[in-house]
A = this chain, B = another copy of it.
Amino acid sequence: MEQKAKTARQRAREEITEEILAAARARLTSQGPGELSLRAVARDVGMVSSAVYRYFASRDELLTALLIEGYDSLGASVEEADRSVTDRADISGRWSVACRAIRSWSIDHPGDYALLYGSPVPGYAAPQDTIGPATRVISVLIATVIDAHRTGAARIPSAPPAAPHGMESTVAAAMDFVKSRDESALLSDAEIAMRTIMAWTTIFGTISFELFGHLVGSVSDYDAYFDQMIARVGHDLGIL
């Protein structure tokens, strides 16, 4: 049977679900995920707490929805920043613009950042639905690395002389992930894959340290430090 016209109830349900999410998201910018109170967001949308359970089975399910929204919001920001570089051969520009977009979004959404990249709720395992949105950021970085090597603008990053061998197996999962998404666009070298993962962790490690206060007393100018950091990371990666 055709069901094109949504019934009023369906429409209301979608709207209210969005209202709850918006209220929770608003609270998340000023508070941390652990302090998010389901009763408080219920009050914000003018409902009684038990009514929220008609839309989200538990607080964790609400957090999961926010998690996905957060990953998508961050991912969209970074993708848009990357797209804004019209000269696709400008690897340096794409790299810095994407990295800066990650940091800008994180600073603008500290609560969401803590939810995405801070300590997870111990008993809570992120469901499968989150891994897709979660890979959007690293996908942009990987695409830049691949393009850099495809156009010949990059060199194979240098491994330390005494580095242990057998890298192929340790980063095999990452290389498989890339190959599974685009057969033609592969991280052809394990050293590149290794360096890409390192770059990724360094960028987020830096942002976490900045937002969580661990760089106080070490770094005076966060903007400048971040720019210098991504230049060096890109250099070590072989793309700058």
Contacts and interface: CB of A to CB of B under 8 A. Distances in A.
Contact of A220 (B117, B172, B215, B233): B172
Given A92-B162, A160-B231, A169 B220 contact: yes
Interface in A51-108: 92
B119 A173 contact: no
B198 A229 contact: yes
A119 B194 contact: no
Given A174-B219, A224-B170, A160 B234 contact: yes
B119 A235 contact: no
A152 interface: no
B173 A35 contact: no
Interface residues of A, number: 68
A49 interface: no
A218 B164 contact: no
A46 interface: no
A94 to B, nearest CB: 14
B206 A201 contact: yes
B195 A232 contact: yes
A170 B220 CA distance: 5
A144 interface: no
Contacts of A201: 202, 205-206, 209, 215
A160 B96 CA distance: 13
Contacts of A119: 32-34, 114, 118-119, 212
Given A161-B235, A208-B208, 19 more contacts: A34-B34, A92-B162, A163-B235, A169-B224, A173-B219, A173-B220, A174-B219, A177-B218, A194-B229, A194-B232, A197-B219, A198-B202, A198-B229, A201-B202, A201-B215, A203-B205, A204-B214, A205-B206, A236-B236
- In the A-B complex, the 4 residue pairs with the smallest Cβ-Cβ separation, listed nearest first, are A205-B205, A118-B119, A160-B235, A114-B119
